[in-house]
Amino acid sequence: MSPTERPNTLRSGPDGRGRFGGFGGRFVAETLMPLVLSVEAAYEAAKRDPGFQLELDRYLRDYVGRPSPLWFAERLTKQLGGAKVYFKRDELNHTGSHKINNCMGQILLANRMGKTRIIAETGAGQHGVATATVCALFGLPCTVYMGTTDVERQAPNVFRMKLLGAEVVPVSSGAGTLKDAMNDAMRDWVANVDDTYYLIGTVAGPHPYPAMVRDFQSIIGTEARAQMLAAEGRLPTIAVAAIGGGSNAMGLFHPFLDDPDVRLMGVEAAGRGLDTNQHAASLSRGRPGVLHGNRTYLLQDDDGQITEAHSISAGLDYPGIGPEHSWLHEIGRVEYTAATDQEALDAFQLCCRAEGIIPALEPAHALAHVTKIAPTMPKDDIVLMNMCGRGDKDIFAVAEHLGVKL
């Protein structure tokens, strides 16, 4: 779809085949296809059931702690010397990131479907912790697949998951990161079709996952939009979010898609630089292909083999991106840019001292971009950034990069 053929709303996707423009779809083995269709049917039924939303609202309010606050980062704004910077503080949710929004919705769905075992993939471990948490809450056994590299660099989250009663399965294939964890989660699912629900953590995978995870995460943007209007009487000039698979960004952006005056910016992980082969910038440096059940932008070689991503942030270390982002990129509604490991580390430290908030390395990428654009903007412009996770889990990795021995 070209920009000139834009529909009246950008919020109506996907189509009946699970496509956003030419992206998305359902590329899974036949064994899984009936399961994917049953998740779609169950989700459609849940959406039509007001009781489902009421129940979800109650858990989000009383267990997760929503709504998360909108914070005017005044000291940071002064230091940057330009636009007003606001943080949507999803790092204050129970479990410390936005991931719980989606887990809460999907665990209720899994319950409705009568599933008795939950599996998940995780990169940084935030989705794994959130999944283990809701499984503990509902008394369901939980198996989390996590790459061996990530098990090592996110040790606190591995222990957290175990405390919550989950089994953490290290995955050593490939580079031992999120991509490999997702492969093994899908292999588990195909072997346990009767009792198991696959709780995907990002806006990727076969339809209906990209749309469903987006819907559950859209509470971020819905709240932020109303809070922004209450605080400033207007919408932000720019909304910014970090992107690995893209769930926190989709959650922030989706409620703003039909506000043409709000610029939307997604920040991919540029790793050691976009012109090295060590980054995770699927949109900036990849091309469309099919992996993990959907057609989307992927890092791949000339033969269509998937190449390894790299990022200091385990949560962004993924060679693909949610299909709706690929579409929003192609139609130009969202601008996608990138921040390097070093820029993220710098922003991480700046945020600690300027705002007293230790951010996760994932939103530190978004913040790195904010530090580039805010100083160039007029003082009455507003930048809204999704602080999608807190950085307690990252202090060991950051210490290592800063040459500090803990």
Partner 1 sequence: MSRIAARFSKLKTEGRGAFIPFLEAYDPDLATSTAILHGMPGAGADLIEIGMPFTDPMADGPTIQTAGLRGLKAGATLPKTLTMVSDFRTHDADTPVILMGYLNPILSYGADKFCADAAKAGVDGLIVVDLPSEEADWLAGAAAANALDIIRLVAPTTDDARLPQVLNGSSGFVYYVSIAGITGTRTATAEHLAAAIPRVRRATDLPIAIGFGIRTPAQAAEAARAADAVVVASALIDTLAASLDPEGRAAANSVQLVLDQVRGLAEAVRSVAK
Site residues for partner 1, window 14-33 (CB under 8 A)? 17, 25-33
- Residue nearer to partner 1 on the CB measure, 298 or 368: 298
Q: Does the footprint of partner 1 cover residue 292 (CB under 8 A)?
A: yes
**d(C-alpha 233, C-alpha 306), whole Å:** 46
Whether 148 contacts 170, CB under 8 Å: yes
Residues 6+ apart with CB under 8 A from 181: 121, 122, 123, 145, 146, 147, 150, 171
Closest CA to 71 of 83, 61, 85: 85
Contact region with partner 1 (CB under 8 A), list: 57-65, 257-265, 285-293, 355-363:
285-293
Residue 289 lies near partner 1 (rule: CB under 8 A)? yes
Check binding of 353 to partner 1 (CB under 8 A): no
Q: Which amino acid is at 184?
A: D
CB of 287 vs partner 1, minimal distance in Å:
8
Nearest residue (CB) to partner 1, 6 versus 187: 187
| Cα angle value 271/124/169 (rounded, 5°) | 125
- Are 207 and 25 spatial neighbours (Cβ–Cβ below 8 Å)? yes
Q: Can you tell me the distance from the alpha carbon of 319 to that of 292, in angstroms, rounded to the nearest whole number?
A: 11
Minimum CB distance to partner 1 smaller for 189 or for 348: 189
Shortest Å, Cβ 28 to partner 1: 6
By beta-carbon proximity to partner 1, the closer residue of 298 and 357 is 298
What span, in angstroms and rounded, lies between the C-alpha atoms of 190 and 188? 6
Cα–Cα distance measured from residue 380 to residue 378, given in angstroms and rounded to the nearest whole number = 6
Separation CA 108–CA 106 (nearest Å): 5
Least Å distance, CB 317 to partner 1, is: 15
Site string for partner 1, 156-175 (x = CB under 8 A): -----------------xx-
By the rule CB under 8 A, 231 interacts with partner 1: no
Position among 66, 98, 179, 393 found at the interface with partner 1 (CB under 8 A):
179
Q: Does 186 bind partner 1 (CB under 8 A)?
A: yes
For residue 239, give the nearest of 259, 262, 258 by alpha carbon: 262
Going by the DSSP 8-state scheme, the letter that residue 392 receives in this structure is G
User: Is residue 115 involved in binding partner 1 (CB under 8 A)?
Assistant: no
Interface positions, 28-67, toward partner 1 (CB under 8 A) = 28-35
Q: Which is nearer to partner 1, 78 or 287 (CB)?
A: 287
- Least distance in angstroms from the C-beta of 175 to partner 1: 10
Residues that bind partner 1 (CB under 8 A): 17, 25-35, 173-174, 179, 183, 186-187, 190-191, 193, 288-293, 298, 300, 302-306
